[in-house]
Structure formats: structure tokens, C-alpha cells
Structure 1
Amino acid sequence: MAVIGAGAIGGAVIEALEKGRVPGASLIAGLHSGSTSNEIDSAIAASDVVVEATTVDAAEEFIPRVTAAGKDIIVCSCGVFARHENPRDLISAPHDDSGTPGRVFVPAGAVGGLDVLAAASRAGKTDARLSHFTIKSPAALGVDEELTESREVFRGSARDAALRFPRTSNASVALALATLGLDHAEVVVVADPRVTRTRHVVEFRSPLGTYEMSFENSLDPASGGRTSAITAWSVAELLIGIRDGVGPGAVVLERG
């Protein structure tokens, strides 16, 4: 496999692969902004799975590039899907007309329970409601004002949250894609100067049941307070699931 990006998530995934902590997976290449087009194409061709852990703009480029080569891609910068009415539009037809395009995987990242919520959503979305509350430090959210207490800085759809906070809304996008869609999942973003961890609260209500989950994650020190340390390990667990043909809750997008 190849990893694109060597920041907080990409660097941790590369380290886990190099230390043999992801059974059945080996690193072909670690790619970065200085990698040439030929190096990137060679790494994609030699890999079964590519991990994107860079930026939304880079994800916009690499999703069609990797899927057109018939390879699967795990997208960590999943705010990219908010730019498209249909996220599957990013998946490109294979170069070879007889081939099959690669799949796009969105890891659960900093939250869990996607399997339960996806099942409840499949049973019926008409009367279902999803709310995702995310509490982070003002610095992580790009709030320049000096706060002395918590403040709600956003309330709206998962799509709008990802467009406004493209680097910190990955969990919201994953939850929305697994359940009610980007335009029907509600996101509430709170800036709290007192937090030392990132907190996520997920509330889902439907005729099938009521589900409430809370996650409090340690921060990856290399991320500037934006990324939960668990996120890279969510990617590692997903890689094992892809190998085994089963796995943890994740969103899978395929070309229609």
C-alpha cells in the first residue's frame, strides 16, 4: 500500500506499517508534496490500497486518479465530499474499459458506532434525526477571539460544516455519509478554551430506536489540536478489515 501525506495521520499510519503493527499490510511508498507524478503513478500501480491523509484539495485530485487505476483509496480528508452533490461523482471510470474502478473508504476516525447507525438509517430515514456535537479548542477551529467560556460557533448541516471547517469536520462527514446524508445530518460545533481533548457527542433518533454515544479523544500533538490520536489507528483497523473482507464500521462508496 501507499500513503499520501506524512502529517499527523499519514505519519502515524506510515510508522504503524513500518513497525509491523498492521498485520498483512506492507508499505510500498510514502508520498508527499515533493513526489513526482511518475513516483505517484508507480506507487499507485504497485499498491492494492492507497491512504490519502493530506488536504481536501489533494483528495479532490487523488480520488479519481486512484480509482481510475482500479485501486481502492481510504480518504481521511473526507470534507472533500461536501463539494459534490453526489460524493460518488469523484470515482472515475477505469482507464481500461474492461476493468473495475476502485472503491472509496471513509474511516470512522474519531467516532464509532457507524455500523449501528447505518443499520438504523437503512430501516428508514423519513422520521430519523442525527445530531453531532463536536467540542474543540478555539485554536483547532480557527477561532481567533480569546474566549473565557464555551461558545457555539456553528449549527447547520454536515455539508456546511465541512465547507466551513474542512480540516476538522471529518467525523461529521463520516457520520452523515453512513446515515442520513450530508444535507440532513445536523452538526453543532462548540469552541471551548478549557478542553484538552476533543469531544464528540452523537444523538440519533428514529422509529427503530434512540442511540446516544459520547467520545473523548486524546489529541495528536503533531496536529495542532485538530486531530484525534485515534484517527490513524482507525485507518489501520480499516486496512485489516479490507484485507479480511470484513471490518469495523466504515463508509464504502462505489461507482454507480
Structure 2
Amino acid sequence: MTNGLSLSSVLPTPAKDVAVCVVGAGAIGHAVADAIRHDEVPGVHLTAVLCSRSTVAETEHALEASDLVVEAATVAAARELIPHVTRLGKDVVVCSAGVFAECADPEVLVDGPGRVLLPTGALGGFDILAAAARAGTADARLRHTTIKRPTALGVEEALTAPREVFRGSAREAALRFPKTSNSSVTLALATLGLDRVEVVVVADPAATETRHVLEWTSPVGRYELSFTNAVDPSSGGRTSAVTALSVLEVLAALARGVGPGVVVVEPAG
């Protein structure tokens, strides 16, 4: 690989656990790795954490030693990791979903039997929205409004009131705001597609949290979902604290052999 990702730690892997390699040491990667280290996800074991300071050889060793890779770095890292990891026949959980906005067909990045898994991140309601999309999308409409502090959106002007800074498709939003539009991309891929989901981005100088509003209309029903998330203080206001937890939920679901969002009742232990 040529992206400079590298190995910062390698741990022994129990045979029965899902061996997970985390790529990225920022807000999401750090939180995910720490949770796995502290045994907060049963059936999952941390094999390595990759960052930008190690060698290509160490990176290759870490990927080979893992059953699954969590990408929590950048769009550039995801662009290279997805084909590489799927070619190895392994699954990759991708947090930088904005990478798919660069492709006319998202499947073009998948280069083997491995799968790409996208956590829902800062949003919810994917179950009912994806179900509604199954009834047909021709007459469906979906708008995703995001309200964040101006600095998280790269707005340096001193605003005195909320201001709409973007309105367009999920694809256009990801290309304009690659670090803050991953949830829009994941939502679009689960429902109407990158070019049909409308995204509105609002910079609010009074915002201390991040707010998301989803508005769906179709013959199946009308839904309005609202989410107000605390932000991870280490992310500069860009990342909701729940995002890392959504990654852990995906890992826990895989270890249980079910999908995220499925309620499992099982014997203790």
C-alpha cells in the first residue's frame, strides 16, 4: 500500500474472537480502539491500530492478521483501503463514506469477496426508511438537514444568526464537506441514491451540539426524524460522539451473527 498507514500496536488474537484492525487514530478510531481494548464489545479482539507513522510492511502484516478492518481515517485512506481489504476477502467498516461520492457506481471500489459495511453514524431510522424505499422510490423524497457550529463547516465568518451554507444532493454535499457529510452519503446509499437525497447544511453560531433532521415523503408514509447529538470534543465539532458507538454496534452485531439494530435476546454468558 502507498498511503503511509502503519502499525502502532499488534496484540495476540484469541481464535474464537473477531480480530479487528482499526485504521486511524483520530476521534473515532481512538474511541473504537479503546472500547475494544477494554472488552466493551464481546467476541471482538483488537489486533492492531494503524496510523500515518508506520511502514507499509507493518500495515500489510496488520491487515493480513485481522478478520475485519475499521477505517476511521480519511476519504483518501478509504479510497485505497476498500479495494485492498476486499481483495483480501475481508470486510471493512468504512466511516469515511464520502469516498463513494467520487464514484458513479459505489461498487467499483469493491475489488473482491470482502464486503463494505457502513455504520449509521450520527443518524438513525435507517430501518424504516430503507423499508419504505423497498416499496418504490419513484415518488419518494428525502431531505437531510444538518445544523452545526460554523467552525465545524469551515465557516470562519463571525455569524450572528443561523445561515444556510449549502443545498444540493448528498453527492455534492460530500464533495463540498468531505469530513462532515458521511452520514448523508450512508443515508443516500440506504434509500434513494446519492443524487436524489437533498442535503441542507446550516451553520449556527449558537450551536453547541449537532442537529440532524430527516424528512421522508412517499406513498408508504411520511416521516420526520430529529437527532441532536453531543459532539466529540477532540473532533473540532465535526464528529458526533455517538458515531464511534455506532461502529461498535456494527462490530457487536457481526460477532453475534446478526445485523445492527436487531434486538437479540440470549442466555446470559
State how far apart, in whole Å, the 1-side matches of 2:142 and 2:87 are: 33
Q: State the shift of 1:241 in Å.
A: 1.1
Structure 1: how far apart are the matches of 2:135 and 2:64?
Answer: 39
Does structure 2 conserve the Cα–Cα contact (< 8 Å) formed by 1:140 and 1:226?
yes
| Pick aligned residue for 1:121 from 107, 112, 133 | 133
Match of 2:14 in 1: none
Q: Which has the higher contact order (CA 8 A, sep 6+)?
A: 1
Contact 2:25 2:50 in 1 (8 A): yes
How many residues get paired? 243
Deviations 1:110-145 (A, max 9, x none): 001111111111110000000000000000000111
C-alpha change, 1:57 and 1:249, in structure 2 (3 Å) is farther
Q: Could you tell me the TM-score, scaled by structure 1's length?
A: 0.93
Partner of 2:5: none
Shift in Å, 1:47? 1.1
Following superposition, the deviation at residue 27 of structure 1 comes to 0.2
Deviation string for 1:133-162 (max 9, x for gaps)?
000000000011110000000000000000
**Distance across 2 between alignment mates of 1:37 and 1:70:** 19
Question: 114-123 vs 180-189, which deviates more?
Answer: 114-123
Q: CA deviation at 1:46?
A: 1.3
Q: What TM-score does the superposition give when structure 2 sets the normalisation length?
A: 0.89
Aligned pair 1:158/2:132, yes or no? no
**Gaps (5+ residues) in structure 1?**
94-100, 251-256
- Kept after mapping to 1: 8 A contact 2:42/2:255: no
Aligned twin of 1:142 = 154
1:24 has 2:64 as partner: no
Post-superposition Cα deviations, 1:193-244, rounded to whole Å, max 9, x if no partner, equal 0000000000111100111110000000110000000000000000011122
Residue in 1 that maps onto 2:72: 53
Whole-Å Cα distance in 2 between the matches of residues 59 and 35 of structure 1?
17
Structure 2 counterparts to residues 242-253 of structure 1, below 5 A: 242-248=254-260
Root-mean-square deviation (CA, aligned residues, Å) is 1.0
Identity of aligned residues (%): 63
Displaced runs of 4 or more, over 3 A: none
